[in-house]
Amino acid sequence: MGTPVDYVGIRDEIETILQADTRTNEARIYIEEEPQFGLSDYTSAIAVFMDNRVTPIDVQSIGAGKRTRFNLRVSFWVVAFSMESYRKACDARDTLMGQLELVLMDNRTLTGKVATSWLEGGEMFSAKDQQTSTFTAVAEVAMVLDVSAINT
């Protein structure tokens, strides 16, 4: 018996937080699902994926085997669309990204689901869909969650 890391609970809590906060809930939110983008429904989206987990040796307790700490990396991909220009798409992306960062900073423990968390930056890029003439701007916000599994 023991207490495994509650990956499902963490994922569900992230979704609850993003949908409940007015700074992020106007964007379409995808939680570990294939995003279906389109301007007809939303001009921005946040796609969330659990990327990887590591067990840093320097933070393991002397009772290794009974408790293991993990750093779980979660990627939040902010996507914004514009029919007008790259700049409009980038402005919308940057605004939503900033709001997302504030929401995550306000919820460092994900309502008690994790010990703590921190932000680590991420990738940024933009592109134009030649078929639809839609400008798309994307940014990653990486978040590391400090979680533990306990073996009793």
Assigned token pair, 88: 């409009």
With a pLDDT cut of 90, the percent of the chain lying above it is: 74
Look over the chain and give the mean of its residue pLDDT values, rounded to a whole number.
Answer: 91
Q: What are the pLDDT digits (tens) for 119-133?
A: 999 999 999 988 888
What pLDDT shows up at residue 37? 64
Q: What are the pLDDT digits (tens) for 18-77?
A: 999 999 999 999 999 987 765 556 789 999 999 999 988 877 776 667 888 899 999 999
Query: Among 90, 123, 120, 122, which Cα is nearest to 105's?
Result: 120
Distance CA 145, CA 111 (A): 12
What pLDDT shows up at residue 26? 94
More confident residue, 143 or 64: 143
Q: Where are the beta strands (DSSP E) in the chain?
A: 2-3, 28-31, 44-54, 67-82, 116-119, 124-129, 134-151
φ/ψ of residue 111, rounded to 5: 55, 45
With a pLDDT cut of 70, the percent of the chain lying above it is: 93
φ/ψ of residue 122, rounded to 5: 160, -175
